[in-house]
Structure 1
């Protein structure tokens, strides 16, 4: 027979367990997003996380284009930078991409655009490296971020600043993936034979002739060259400075 005292104890025990489970569902999440259209997708995720009780902090620059400072579903951590990419930087590039996709450019103009795109990507990743360096050199900022005891970092790995920050804070990483620094994110995690997996920007489908497969290989080579010579060295310089060559 269960006495009143023992039944009260059982009720108290399960009440504590229930409350602990409810509290345990909420976490502290640091988000390092990307500007522009990438932010539209990330913002939807942030709203969903906030609606489930999670505390969200979003890293932005003082020249942020999309990411607002005064919103109800997240708080911001603002990093001062000297330059960043905005609509004036990106719109001319997008117009040329649209022209190429519509077949309105010649071979020479396509080559010229690829050179321009390489330069733009180099500049954009350089801006991200500047942002990462600014954060890691700011001891006060890093101290504040460590004291907040985040559970994880959610980042867009198209740019490396969030990955570097998570490593410095020794926090687990979650990627919101479509792109990584080397290009299409799926190429890094799934088997992607170039004979029937078309590269982004190639205009090809999964049914390719021999010549089209050669074209696809050339597009893949362009991404690899860009990553190897223009993108990775910039991030490696930051890593060498703060973490060492390994």
Structure 2
């Protein structure tokens, strides 16, 4: 039976982690109240609900509090059965979780480091590692021979890696990088466009101009801190 308890989500407008939770809720047609958090001036509510990591997203379902975006995605899928997002086959489900972690712990980490570093040699090293991870992700898409990782419909892995479709092009612009080359990664490029243009996803993306400005400011601030640290 579908849960009728009130659903609330604490998020941040440009957070790929909280937005992926919104994608899942919207795909399932779950009504929720969105509460914007200022991650630079955290509210007592956020600190009370997530005292360990003090981060968004935080999903509140009735009296239950669920933390960490991947865990929240699985909770949502198990609570609201309509539009299943995790594969039904145990092996496929395990592989979806594995590639989600590769995206987070390898590709995302190296891409962000390439964006932030002030040293050209380091940037090239991080970009090389990021593209090696992306090659593996490309192979998964080629093997699946479908529109999305989840087949013809958006699934768990699409939601987990969905940030690639929108945030990576922004970071490429901000950092003068080239990561997702359409010639080298045609399947990933096609998937990015399919995912980004899906009505549910397209309706829940941060404004591009504001997103670019946010990451430009962030890159500048991080650069200033790194320069100051180098002088001290």
Q: Which has the higher contact order (CA 8 A, sep 6+)?
A: 2
For the criterion TM > 0.5, the same-fold answer is: no
TM-score normalised by the chain length of structure 2? 0.37
Query: Which structure is higher in helix share?
Result: 2
TM-score normalised by the chain length of structure 1? 0.36
Query: Which structure is higher in strand share?
Result: 1
Max Rg structure:
1
